[in-house]
């Protein structure tokens, strides 16, 4: 039995590539489709969450939006991993820096993701789960940044449920070496880990790979910031890296 389309994705199985590059903003997805894909075909516009499939350097790739926050990316990546047989998801997005040696425009390759979310409660674990990236993807992302000459740092991010945090303790996360704050990577990594253990009538069990690459859009210590338009259209370095690593470069 085919479980597609899903409640949130209007595509049939086969219309989405096994590798998907995702962004929170659907307009950033449209930008990637128009500037990185050859012959992009729209496969989703349910709730305005655009998704396209095309080719990049001869490799079939999809790009799709995931919305804002952990619950939203949790829904979309669960359906992609479990119902569309997607094997690899790379998130490209913005983050707020909390380390002094990070600057607006720098890239952060998230090898791990702390979180204040309760997302992991569904797994009924007896301790605290540590969501981590796929090492192979992370290593290739670092190599791509070095080859392209892009300023970058590698390490932990905080996936926060709060954009407007009434009781933020950024200094405490800073002391623990966390590089930046964003809102979705931990949930992406948890979905990849869980989907890798599952076999169902909809999806074969296999290793699911995930990586988050963020551009520093603002600095929570120094006050450096970018505009919404700049975040939408000029954060292309993380896109360059994402397409390079998913196309085997």
Query: Residue 8: what pLDDT?
Result: 95
Residue 49 counted as domain residue: yes
Residue 125 counted as domain residue: yes
Residue 134 counted as domain residue: yes
Range of the domain at 194: 19-246
Closest CA to 109 of 185, 56, 36, 165: 185
- Three-state SS at 214: strand
Residue 3 counted as domain residue: no
Query: Residue 233: what pLDDT?
Result: 62
Catalytically active residues, by annotation: 218
All residue ranges of the chain with pLDDT < 50 are none
Residue 93 counted as domain residue: yes
Q: Check: CB of residue 48 under 8 Å from CB of residue 20.
A: no
H helix runs in 100-197, sequence order: 135-148, 170-175, 185-195
CA dihedral sign of residues 122, 185, 26, 138: negative
Residue 65 counted as domain residue: yes
Backbone angles phi, psi at 27, to 5 degrees: -70, -30
Give how many domains the chain has, as a whole number. Answer: 1
pTM (2 d.p.): 0.94
How far is residue 138's CA from residue 33's CA, in Å, rounded to a whole number?
23
How far is residue 81's CA from residue 154's CA, in Å, rounded to a whole number?
25
Query: Residue 42: what pLDDT?
Result: 98
Tell me, what CATH number does 165's domain have? 3.40.50.1580
Query: Residue 1: what pLDDT?
Result: 63
């Amino acid at each position: 039995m085919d479980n597609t389309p899903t409640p949130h994705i209007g595509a049939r199985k086969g219309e989405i590539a096994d590798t998907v590059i995702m962004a929170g903003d659907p307009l950033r997805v449209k930008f990637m489709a128009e500037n990185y894909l050859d012959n992009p075909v729209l496969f989703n516009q349910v709730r305005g969450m655009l998704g396209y499939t095309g080719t990049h350097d001869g490799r079939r790739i999809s790009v799709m939006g995931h919305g804002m926050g952990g619950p939203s990316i949790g829904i979309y990546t669960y359906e992609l991993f479990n119902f569309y047989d997607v094997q690899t998801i790379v998130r490209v997005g913005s983050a707020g820096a909390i380390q002094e040696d990070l600057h607006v425009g720098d890239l952060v390759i998230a090898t791990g993701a702390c979180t204040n979310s309760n997302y992991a409660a569904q797994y009924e674990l007896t301790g605290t789960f540590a969501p981590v990236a796929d090492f192979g993807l992370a290593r290739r992302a670092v190599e791509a940044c070095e080859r392209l000459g892009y300023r970058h740092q590698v390490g932990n991010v905080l996936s926060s449920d709060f954009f407007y945090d009434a009781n933020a303790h950024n200094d405490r996360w800073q002391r623990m070496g966390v590089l930046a704050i964003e809102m979705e990577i931990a949930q992406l990594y948890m979905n990849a880990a869980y989907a890798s253990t599952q076999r169902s009538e909809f999806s074969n069990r296999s290793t699911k790979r995930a990586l988050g690459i963020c551009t520093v859009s603002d600095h929570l210590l120094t006050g450096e910031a970018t505009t919404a338009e700049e975040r939408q259209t000029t954060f292309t370095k993380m896109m360059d890296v994402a397409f390079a690593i998913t196309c085997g470069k």
